[in-house]
Chain A
Amino acid sequence: MTNVLPEPVTTIPNPFRMDYTYVAGAGRSMFLRGLAERKLIARRCAGCGQVYLPPPEFCSRCLTELEAPFELDGRGAISTFCVVSFPFPGQRIDPPYVVAHIQPHGAGTRLMHLVREIEPEDVHIGLEVEPVWVPDDELDTSLLSISHFRPTTEGGADA
């Protein structure tokens, strides 16, 4: 026996490639398709009155199908926020910037998104904001169809 340890193996080739189908589901698909048309689609539970945005198929409190979809304009109030001040790999915009929970008027749930066109130190809970949509040729079945939220203007959400 020898006390000399073997040279450790630190890498071996073991390539994986895995392709998956993601199933968004009927409820989520309806919401995502709406985003590509500058629409925020909500649904109400007949049982408890909760308005979901985004809406699933079922109310997770009552186990019942949600009612017919309807549109909200996306205007709402900031319910909480933070200021991101540090850089990290893959970051899409330069810090500092504001990430907020927005409570759209008419919805019982909150959306998370960026708040821009305002200095971070001027952002506060309760601030009224509206969505800013990307140009038509960038619209997609994604929350990135909304570029960001900004303080509500007189002209309306699509101004």
Chain B
Amino acid sequence: MRDVAVVAWAQSPCRAANRRDDMAGILLPVIRETVNTVGIDRDDVDFVASGSHDFYEGRTFSYIDSLDAVGAWPPISESHVESDAAWALAEAWSWLQLGEGDIALVYGIGRGSLPADLDQVMPAQLDPYYLAPLAPHRDAIAGLQARSTIEAGLTSEQGMAEVASRCLASALDNPLAQRSEQVDAAQLLEAPYVSSPLREHDVAPVGDAAAVVILAAGDAARRLAERPAWLRGVDHRMDTHYPGVRDLSESPSTGRAAHRAAELAGFSASDVDVAELHTEYSHQEAILSGALGLKGAAVNPSGGPLAGRPATATGLIRVGEAARHILDGRADRTLAHATSGPALQQNLVCLLEGDG
């Protein structure tokens, strides 16, 4: 295996809706920030990978718009995943492992604000025969999962409100968060249900932002960053697409990805100081912490997705936040988790480590 690390990371502020900028306009300042952080030109980037979903944009091949921000001039080596951009990071990591180059730039753009009504759009990601015709509310499947998670004894409405309260308080220190406040769980529990047992605070607020991670291998990483955040283990797994086949209170794909990542890394999720989890809903923190086997890690100190969920940039932001603690010298081992699909269908785990 080659040593591959995150050497730079940045994101734009999470906004409920950005009506000023097109895709390239949101992305370009973030790319410029990361490129300047490590002092390279775009010519030094060997590979570009990105992730986004056309169904948030309402047109095909929508990400092409964003290529103006990476400048496919002269022509570049490039790839795109129709998923959260954390999966683009996994592709770039594999590409660097193959020795195709030394520096890769990964970006994610999420514009969850463009659909006028996510209830119109989200059913389209479901099975077209059995589920999509039912046109479930955007949070309906998550509600089923939350109920079964409570029933399994993993959390409670009180516990979910405490997760939300903690995340919103943590986000007070994150100027790029979409939502932040000091609020008691008791106060949150006074709110009405959105999709019982979920209340508004249990649902990560969808919005718009871009995120960029620069990866580098070996000596390039050591040259570009004082303390690279080495990606010691990366793996992703998926459960079946039909939620009715699954026990929704468990996430076996997260467990398998974590196990494989630990084999690669030589340490496991139980050893990390910080874990950034892609919790689209508060109850998922309990499922994920159990599946990963976290022990005493600070979970989502950035505020996590419950403080801002810019659609397909959300998972890549978890990787960036987990790397930041190592780049800044505030942690030695961290974990990033990303998810895609309904009710934690697909899951990705990264184990990161700094030099001693």
Contacts and interface: CB of A to CB of B under 8 A. Distances in A.
Interface of A: 12-14, 16-28, 56-58, 60-61, 63
Contact of B19 (A12, A23, A56): A23
A138 B182 CA distance: 54
Nearest to B73: A61
Given A19-B115, A19-B117, A21-B114, A58 B21 contact: no
B42 interface: yes
B63 to A, nearest CB: 15
Given A19-B115, A21-B116, A26-B21, A63 B129 contact: no
Given A19-B115, A21-B113, A56-B68, A14 B128 contact: yes
Given A19-B116, A25-B21, A63-B31, A58 B68 contact: yes
B133 A20 contact: no
B132 interface: yes
**Residue with the highest number of chain B CB atoms closer than 10 Å, among A13, A19, A23, A28:** A23
A20 B57 contact: yes
Contacts, number: 85
Nearest to A50: B73
A23 B42 contact: no
A48 to B, nearest CB: 10
A27 B24 CA distance: 10
Contact of B24 (A17, A22, A58): A58
Contacts of A13: 133
Interface SS of chain A: helix, strand, loop or mixed? loop
Interface in B42-82: 42, 55, 57-58, 67-73
Contacts of B132: 14
B25 A26 contact: yes
A108 to B, nearest CB: 12
A20 B68 CA distance: 22
B129 A12 contact: yes
Nearest to B55: A18
Contacts of B72: 60
A27 B69 CA distance: 13
Given A56-B68, A58-B69, A63-B71, A25 B115 contact: no
Given A56-B68, A63-B31, A63-B42, A20 B115 contact: yes
B121 interface: yes
Given A13-B133, A14-B128, A18-B121, A60 B24 contact: yes
Contacts of A12: 129, 133
B190 to A, nearest CB: 32
A18 B58 contact: yes
